[in-house]
Amino acid sequence: MGTARIAGVGLTPFGSHPDRTGRDLFAEAAAAAIADAGVPRSDVDALNYGNFMGSIAERQGHQAPLMAEAAGLSCPATRYEEACASAGVAVREAVRTVRSGEADVVVAGGMERMSHLETADVTAGLATAADDLLEVRSGMTFPGAYGLMARAYFDRFGGTRTDLAHVASKNHDHAIPNEYAQFRRAVSVEEALSSPPVATPLHLFDACPITDGASAVVFVSESYAAAHDIEAPVAVTGSGQGTDRLALGDRDRLAETPAATRAAETAYGEAAVDPDDVDVAEVHDCFTIAEVMATESLGLFPVGEGITAAREGVTAADGAVPVNLSGGLKAKGHPVGATGGSQIVELTRLLRGDHPNSDHVPDASVGVAHNAGGSVATAVVHVLEVVA
């Protein structure tokens, strides 16, 4: 089986872009990735595009051919929808396609545009990623779902709101130098603790913002890279996906995310690495408790012990295992259909040494990306390595 190398990456600034269209945002990210790769558009064999709420937020379904046109591509285009893991799945399928030899060049990424909607409408749209019959009709929202998960975690393993506030503060610190981040300002632990409640025990600074943005990654085969003298020193060497029951009430335990655990086991197995080899991670911290559970599913900490990692400085920029050097969803932002792709972009920049936070991980050679859908009913994990 071949290797999927990352030839180019592109992002839009994450934030509020109510006056821009989704196609405009994705065109910008795709153009940046293609220029970074130095690949002719005519050589692109496929576009894998992630989007979750387009039919609601922009009243636009059938977005894949639209985005191919916006990106100047004439190849087959497919939209992937797995809630907040949409771009992660698009990336995974791109990796599998290139590895199989079916294609030499695939563009993968995603886009979401939500800031032009009222907050209540965004919340309702995002809630369609939960079980409508068993959860949404009873008033469940994702702040409520993650609030339940946080309470279950505290009840089973311990932990406090202060531990979660350290996660928020850390990720805001990481976002400050990131030119693509939505919130480039410090948030102290005290400020996070004093912010208004959202869904007990979660408060405002435990939650990611409403975000617009797009991401794109150009994957190439080793043979194509060699034939066209393309420098692509980072590759996805492992990819895994896991699934759990959609409704929280149908799960055996709320304080763990087995879909992510299974995805990580598959990705590590393919890459022939283990958690001790990981130098840097980008994880799906839609809420601060989600970062804690993600790091445990990735094996970076034993189950029940990730809660103190941020407070102890382990996951900080200069810690033993830096997590979310981009700022994460918490501070960089979370355009849901684009997030899985943006994690690959950020890790690639970190491993190539051209990220503003690369100085914190100068010798990093292995990174892991964790992208989750909904309350982690879907999880995608990718291992990235410096291969040449």
Concerning whether 334 is annotated as a catalytic residue, the answer is: yes
Q: Provide the angle, in degrees to the nearest 10, between the axes of the packed helices 142-157 and 288-297.
A: 60
> How many whole angstroms separate alpha carbon 290 and alpha carbon 339?
15
Q: Report whether 212 contacts 206 (CB < 8 A).
A: no
CA atoms 22, 23, 28, 31: torsion sign: positive
> How many whole angstroms separate alpha carbon 372 and alpha carbon 343?
12
Alpha helices in the chain (DSSP H): 22-37, 54-57, 63-70, 86-100, 119-126, 142-157, 161-175, 189-194, 222-227, 258-271, 288-297, 328-331, 339-352
* Backbone torsions φ then ψ of 12, nearest 5 degrees: -95, 160
Concerning whether 203 is annotated as a catalytic residue, the answer is: no
Q: What does the buried/exposed string (b/e) look like for 174-208 if buried means 16 or more CB atoms within 10 Å of the residue's CB?
A: bbeebebbbbbeebebeebbebeebbebbbebbbb
Q: From the candidates 17, 174, 334, 355, which is the catalytic residue?
A: 334
CA atoms 78, 366, 220, 27: torsion sign: positive
> How many whole angstroms separate alpha carbon 277 and alpha carbon 364?
10
The catalytic site residues sit at 84, 334
